[in-house]
Amino acid sequence: MKYIYVLLTIALSLSFPSHSNSYTLLADRQEELISNLFDQLIQKQINANLAVERSVNALLKSYPEQIDIVLKVALSKYPKKYKQIMCGALRAEPALASDVITILLESNIAASTDIVSIAVNEEPAYAAEIVNTAIYHYPEELENIVRVAILIEPVMANDVVNNTMQSYPERLLDILVIAVKALPDQVADIVRDTLRLSADNTEVISIAVSSSTGEKAREIVTSAIRSGMSKESATAAAIAGGAKQADIAKVTP
């Protein structure tokens, strides 16, 4: 194994003559070398079921700078094992999560939500970055992407929601609805964090109330008041969102 890595390192460092197509020749040569090495690594794996994942992992641990080529080769050879390829790549270099997501999305090998689900489950610490990358490539899928991410990893939900709201302020209220419906038990925190980004926005209260059950109205109003909104404004907004007076009558900031 060590010999193979040394051989690849030497080969990848070879320079080509200076002419117009030297870059293309180098790229083709690198891809060929990595493809051959990948095949050799696959054959050396004892567990056939994890051969693809472990081979991708081994290559990227030694050559993270070759991520584009490694994933291109792996996906072309084993398209149905894209989950193994993703896991192998993410476990090798978690910090490259955004690159992994980009490559997988651009390959059109699976739905964006499927890719996000796998990535967030594998590397929850990078959930916000994964979501932003996916939305950048598929902005029309924003709602589904956010929903999948926060359901897969509720612990990171606040980071995902806050980060996405900051990146897409024009979709703040849409994201709020998704978050409240997906994580009703966290509604007070969601409202608080949303108001930090859009202070005194009474629509936040109305929409949070209309997107949750009546029993949550008091929590929502209390959270709004503690965030600096007047009791009168918060109460009026909650009623506009469908709250009953009885639900919020005993609100105590």
The DSSP 8-state label assigned to residue 110 in this structure reads S
Does residue 74 have a pLDDT over 50? yes
Which pLDDT does position 8 carry in this prediction?
52
pLDDT digits (tens, 9 = 90+) for 165-221: 999 999 999 999 999 999 999 999 999 999 999 999 999 999 999 999 878 999 999
Closest to 84 measured CA to CA, from 110, 130, 120, 50: 50
CB-CB contact of 204 with 173 (8 Å): yes
Token pair, residue 180, equals: 């409240």
pLDDT digits (tens, 9 = 90+) for 18-73: 454 665 776 778 888 999 999 999 998 888 889 999 999 999 998 999 999 999 99
Neighbours of 233 (CB within 10 A): 15
- Distance between CA 119 and CA 139 in Å, rounded? 18
Average pLDDT, integer, range 121-150: 96
Does residue 113 have a pLDDT over 80? yes
Neighbours of 198 (CB within 10 A): 14
Measured CA angle at 151 (ends 183, 170), to 5 deg: 70
Please state whether the predicted TM-score (pTM) of the whole model is above 0.75: yes
Which pLDDT does position 55 carry in this prediction?
95
